[in-house]
Amino acid sequence: MKQEHFFKTARWVGAPERTSETFSVLRGHFIADGARKATLSVLGLGFFKCYINGHCINPDTFLPLSSDYEPGCDPKDEVLSGHRIYVPQFDITPFLHGGDNVIAIHYGGGWYTFKNRIFGLPKAIYCISAETDSGTRYYVSDENCRIGSSYIEDYLFVNHETHNYNGWNTCFDTDFDDRQWAHAVFTEQLDTEYCTTDCPCDSLIERLPLRKIGKGSEGVVYDCGQNTTGYPVLEIEAKAGEIISVLFSEELSSDQTIDLVHSHKQIFTIVSDGKNRLVQPEFTWYGFRCFEVIGKATPKFVKVVHADVPISSAFECDNETLNWIYKTFLHTMHCNMHTGHPSDCPHLERRGYTGDGQLTCHAVLTTMDAKAFYEKWLQDIADSQDILSGHIQYTAPYIRSGGGPGGWGCAIVEVPYQLYRHYGDTQILDKYYGNMRRYIDYLEEHSEFGLVTSDKAGEWCLGDWCGPVILYPEKDIASHNQQVLLPAPMVNTYFMVKTLNRLCEIAQIIGKNEDIAEYKEKAKQRKKAIQAAYFNTFDGNFVMNVQGANAFAADLGLGDGKTYPNAVNYYRKLGHYDTGIFATDILTRILFEHGDGELAVDLLTSDGNQGFEHWRQNGATTFHEYWDSNRSRSHNHPMFGAVVAYLFEYLLGIRQEPHTAGYRSLVIEPQAVSKFNRMSGNMKTPNGTVAVHYEKECEAVNFKIIIPPETEAVLRYAGKEFTLAEGENNLTVR
């Protein structure tokens, strides 16, 4: 849509003197007497907080949602497919009064002016539509608005924000006299598409109480009980000019001070004006569990802030490791849902990596009501595609980052496919089918001898990621990818084959049958190339069966009669994972699919150093980036949590019949029942909630299964099959 659809005659305005670090407050006056309803369309770039007569109408949000706002920050030698900005709209009727009303927009920072990705300089725009008996009146931003300075003095979106209240007066309400302020000036207009979305935005989720740990290196240390995202609210008690600093960390050191290794340079600073006030960061969030307050301030509580995506599932059994995996994945994922995209971590980078995002997409859609969230992010992925080559970026919205052509770029197929499978909407497949085909062409152009061997020149070309260090001591590792022993071409070609198989199914669903033979032939040739390059006919292994290599092969039907059994025997002997983010997911699923659910459970619950129970025993409340908790990177990465989907698909046994979607045809077939005495869980489907509970009693298993309306379902267990009716089903199987 064009700007006029939302903003009528409004203009983008800003301060007379601007830099990318500028924060400003824009004030406008309007009289809305007789208005039955008033709707505000408003943007401040990068982020904004908007006040109507002193009432903040979007507290604890980071608006607008992230996107590729406009041309200018495209990758080198590429042209992104789309540029858009999402326009928030508010009903401001409750905040209006007779006579003079004031709108104040505090804006700056955020993704729009982030580091080397600066789209433009800070700016704001608004339009108020007031409905009256005589028609609609519009009040818009223009050069009559006044503009003044913010108390934000220093800022870097990913790790610090500084407030200086000296000489600053509260200017958000009607009592403030803004006549001494300069007039706003017209700024650059945006060359973009203006949109709305129902994607959940960030909001205040809960308040956490604090536990005072004791004296830190310079101040007082507090713990909020879990690794989370948001910020503390502080009561300032300092004299004018005194400085208060808050240092954040994900961990406490052994001496109960904050661990600076896991601080990631996160800091919040306040320069006091001598007035007692409650203060919190306004234009960034922090990823932390504990923090140290240096100076005269008392933290009252911690605000947990992330996208308001509801949990739509439950899982509980008599194994505490699995319970922890489920709950911790949900919490970690929530910590990484900000500004409309799933991120890798909530502090160091905050980027919408297509690899991490496609890997966890199935698990998130299984456990959360996240359809709108992923539909918005899928548009970001499509927008990030290069018009010329079909290349999909490693992050969406685009920020130059690292990744690979398979596990990352194939998100353009996997995310819409998962949305279709979960919700049964074929339109989303049709909408992005052209993008999918173009990416397959891109992979063809970056192949040699049938293997995907490269990505864009000068960029990374990863295969798997974050595997445990096996052959190299820590001090000898010069870069992250040296810990992954699997050849990147094997992994990337695996993803190409999986994507081609998905495309065969998608083409049939949306009536593109003429393309299927092409996809099948390409997949056949790629599988031959993997077999020829990496299979050892002597022992039946791929790449010495290292880090899940045989699982990749078995998933494509490659190898011989020894390949899959070799993987099973290896992991039975090893007793824990030795895999990176993709292989962990694939290995776990392959074991379940082949009926080896007990071994899959053994790996999921192993207390070895490469495992979830190791994290749990060491007090983790979020998943880490690496199996090795001592590594200095993030302790808040969701990607290993992709396996949570299999708690529902295979342990509870809630699966869709092949070639169906939207959970309209279910098979309940729990595996590894011998490992448990009881298990319960439920998940929301488009037709309602499906729930499974079972409990052992002597030689029998008692099932209570709830099937939603308009859903066909059967229970398969112990070689028997039972037809299930809508509503509650109670069965005893011996």
Q: Is 225 left (phi over 0), alpha (psi -120 to 50) or beta?
A: left
The yes-or-no verdict on residue 476 having pLDDT over 70 is no
Q: Please determine, looking at this structure, whether the domain spanning 313-651 carries the CATH number 1.50.10.10.
A: yes
Whether 470 has a pLDDT exceeding 70, the answer reads no
Question: How many degrees, rounded to 5, is the angle at CA 381 between CA 645 and CA 429?
Answer: 70
* Phi, psi (rounded to 5 degrees) for 104: -130, 130
The residue assigned the tokens 């490791």 is: 321
Q: Where does 654-733 sit in CATH, by number?
A: 2.60.420.10
Q: How far is CA 56 from CA 15, 63, 256, 283, 286, in A?
A: 21, 13, 38, 14, 21
Tally the C-alpha atoms within 13 A of residue 42's C-alpha that lie toward its C-beta: 28
β-pair type (160-164, 267-271): parallel
Averaged pLDDT, 363-390: 98
What are the DSSP calls for 520-572, one per residue? HHHHHHHHHHHHHHHEETTTTEEGGG-TTHHHHHHHTT-S-TTHHHHHHHHHH
Alpha carbon of 97 to those of 91, 136, 139: distances in Å? 14, 17, 15
- DSSP state, 648? I
Q: Which pLDDT does position 130 carry in this prediction?
A: 96
- Give the up-direction half-sphere exposure of residue 673: CA atoms within 13 A in the CB hemisphere: 23
Q: What crossing angle do the helices spanning 516-534 and 488-509 adopt, rounded to 10°?
A: 160
DSSP-derived secondary structure letter, 23: -
Element (H, E) at 317: strand 313-317
Which secondary-structure segment (H or E) carries 413? helix 411-423
User: What's the one-letter identity of residue 306?
Assistant: H
| Percentage of residues of the chain with pLDDT beyond 70 | 98
441-452 pLDDT, tens per residue? 999 999 999 999
Q: How is domain 203-307 classified at the architecture level of CATH? A: Sandwich (2.60)
Tokens representing 293 are 């307050």
Number of H helices, E strands in the chain: 14, 39
Mean pLDDT throughout 260-270? 96
Q: What are the structural domain ranges in the chain? A: 3-151+167-197, 203-307, 313-651, 654-733
Task: Tell me the CATH class for 3-151+167-197.
Answer: mainly beta
- Which amino acid is located at 167 in the chain? G
Contacts of 546 (CB under 8 A, 6+ apart): 470, 485, 486, 578
Summarised one tens digit per residue, pLDDT across range 81-100 is 999 999 999 999 999 999 99
pLDDT at 269 over 80: yes
CA distance 259 to 241: 28
Residue 194 is predicted with a pLDDT of: 97
**186/508 Cα distance (integer angstroms):** 52
Mean pLDDT computed over 367-393 = 97
Average pLDDT value for the chain: 95
Mean pLDDT for the stretch of residues 589-611: 96
* Buried b or exposed e, range 156-191, using 16+ CB within 10 angstroms: ebbbbbbbbbeebeebbeeebebeebeebbebeebe
Instruction: Please tell me the chain's helix, strand, coil percentages from 3-state DSSP, rounded to the nearest 5.
Output: 30, 30, 40
pLDDT category at 434 given cuts 50, 70, 90 is very high
511-518 average pLDDT score: 98
The answer to whether the beta carbons of residues 294 and 271 sit under 8 Å apart is no
For 152-199, write each residue's pLDDT tens digit: 999 999 999 999 999 898 999 999 999 999 999 999 999 999 999 999
pLDDT at 550 over 90: yes
Same fold across 203-307 and 313-651? no
Backbone angles phi, psi at 505, to 5 degrees: -65, -45
Asked whether residue 632 carries a pLDDT value surpassing 80, the answer given is no
Q: What is the pLDDT of residue 630?
A: 73
Per-residue pLDDT tens over the stretch 635-659? 999 999 999 999 999 999 999 999 9
As beta bridge partners, residue 55 has 52
Bridge partners (DSSP) listed for residue 314: 682
Contact 690, 706 (CB under 8 A): yes
77 Cβ contact partners less than 8 Å away, ≥ 6 residues apart: none
- C-alpha R_g of the chain: 27
Query: What is the per-residue pLDDT for 2?
Result: 86
What is the structure's pLDDT at 469? 65
Identity at 137, one-letter amino acid code: R
Res. 621: pLDDT tops 50? yes
What band does 137 get if pLDDT is binned at 50, 70 and 90? very high
The confidence band for 481, taking pLDDT boundaries of 50, 70 and 90, is: very low
Residue 264: which of 251, 282, 277 has the closest Cα?
A: 251
> What does the alpha-carbon distance between residue 400 and residue 388 come to, in Å, rounded to a whole number?
18
**Which two structure tokens, joined as six digits, stand for 508?**
């049939």
Question: Dihedral, CA atoms, 409, 410, 415, 421, nearest 10 degrees?
Answer: 180
Strand-pairing partners, residue 149, are: 24
Whether 693 contacts 680, CB under 8 Å = yes
| pLDDT score at 477 | 39
Cβ-contact 80, 387 below 8 angstroms: yes
- Residue-wise pLDDT for 296-324, tens only, equals 999 999 999 999 999 999 999 999 999 99
